[in-house]
A and B are shown apart, each in its own frame.
Chain A
Amino acid sequence: MLDENVTPAIAAANTKQMRMEQSHVELDRWMERYQQADPEATSALIGAVSPALLRFFKSQAANREQADDLLQETWMRIHRIRHTYRPGEPVLPWIYAIARRVRIDGYRRIRRITVHESLMDALPEPSPRIEPRDPLPEFETLIAALPEGQREVVTMLKVGGLSLEEVARATSSTVGAVKQKAHRAYERLRKLLQLGSESAPLEEANEM
């Protein structure tokens, strides 16, 4: 084995993955108990899934306030259609599929509002830039430059800890399509990181 050669990043990733796998089983059990109206399991499920969901919404170009609203909306919908979860199946794709729908609806709602509000805006928002002082940009800043589909896939894989199969289920897609998006996203992110290390703005990467 190559244990002595494992870098801290890989070790952390391995530990995180192992913890995720273990917690996935627990999440599935909590969901089943939630369907049976167990309040403790419900609270545990909300506490366990909400941070990743919040981060999912934040990485999809929502601000904190919008992300909080989307999180609440997601739990309301989850509650209404909790009967559609089939015991024995992975719960995360089920939750993320609903969250994804809430995000799309929320995005449309926000867009409708901002179409009217944009007339009042004097200056456009500056594009996010990688701070030269920071050795690595924040995850959200980094992936903000990705196209929506790739951003969604990378966030589910890296923040939600979903497998390729689970992301495919959550996005009503195929594993092959998810793999392709992930690969393209990684290529683009690598370019961004290279540009970032040269203190170049993200805008340049977008133009590439």
Chain B
Amino acid sequence: MKCDDFNSLLADNNQSGTLQLPEQAMDHLLACVGCQEFMRAFDLPAGAEIPSTELLRQLERTVTADLLPVRPLAPRRYFFATFVSTFVVIVALGAYCLGAFGIPQMSLAQNVAVLGALGASVCLLAWSIVQQMGPGSRHRLPPAILPVLVIVCLALVMASFFTVEEEANFWTQGLVCLRSGALFGLLAAIPFWFLLRRGAILSPRVGGAATGLLAGLVGTTALEIHCPILELSHILTWHLGVAILGAVVGFFVGFLEPNLVDVTSSLP
């Protein structure tokens, strides 16, 4: 075993209470002065830097002064179900109000691919937001990367199933789609924001972008169901554009008005 392997072992093995080194590592440690010094560097002196008694008392006084019982946050599955059902309800409302002219225009493969990708994206985003609402939650995918990943994957799916064609009224028809999609996105953003306020989003920009994207995907899905135009540039610009717009708006809301998203600095 080399010193580099020893580093890897320490990095892999830092589980609380399991600093049991294998025999090989022990042999190396006993023979290597460098590794002994390295281990010793982490042997922190107990109580070297402790808060003053005064500060601790002050903290105790402040915290216990208005100590009232609180009800812990509801289980994640409830929040997840609420996010997803809100999404479904508003998309259904969109399909009812605008009409479902897009579904019969698309082939079965297109329907399955687009709606499946949208559904999976919504589930991933909703779960990520629910995890972000409780600090210290486990993330399978870093929440800062997820919105970008979702947008890229959706764009790739759409690019694989639709083709670029001539479109006569790109701007006129597109702006109608954008307006309708944004309206339903905005409608979804309101209940999402109320749900978000139940938890504590510690990174308002990331949380804002994810929530904005989820709200935007409501608009995108409603448009996919409604809009009969199957032209790629129209779908990418005006349908997926609603989701991107939502993410950007959410990011800037988190950036400019973090208190709207980050309840840690305002609400009990």
A-side residues, CB < 8 A to B, are: 2, 5-7, 9-10, 12-14, 17-18, 20-21, 24, 35-37, 39, 42-43, 46-47, 50-51, 54-55, 58, 68, 71-72, 75-77, 79-87, 89-90, 92-98, 100-101, 136-137, 139, 142, 157-159, 161-166, 168-170, 172-174, 177, 179-180, 182-183, 186-187, 189-190, 193-194, 197
Contact = CB atoms under 8 A, between A and B. Distances in A.
A42 B64 contact: yes
A184 B99 CA distance: 56
Given A80-B264, A84-B199, 20 more contacts: A7-B30, A7-B39, A13-B43, A46-B59, A54-B49, A54-B51, A58-B49, A72-B55, A75-B59, A84-B200, A85-B72, A86-B134, A136-B37, A166-B136, A172-B143, A179-B12, A180-B11, A183-B7, A187-B4, A190-B3
Interface in B23-52: 23, 26, 29-30, 34, 36-44, 47-52
B55 A182 contact: no
A175 B140 CA distance: 9
Interface string B131-145: 011111111111110
Interface of B: 3-4, 7-8, 10-12, 14-21, 23, 26, 29-30, 34, 36-44, 47-52, 55-56, 58-60, 62-64, 67-73, 75, 132-144, 199-200, 202-203, 206, 263-265, 267-268
Contacts of B203: 101, 172
Contacts of B34: 190, 193-194
Contacts of A96: 136
A58 B44 CA distance: 14
B56 A46 contact: yes
A79 B63 contact: yes
Main DSSP-derived SS at the A contact region: helix
Contacts of A13: 19, 39, 42-43
B56 A82 contact: no
Contacts of A35: 69-70, 72
17 contacts: A7-B39, A17-B16, A35-B72, A36-B69, A43-B60, A71-B51, A71-B55, A72-B58, A84-B200, A86-B75, A94-B134, A101-B203, A165-B15, A177-B142, A183-B7, A186-B7, A187-B4
A9 B43 contact: yes
B14 A157 contact: yes
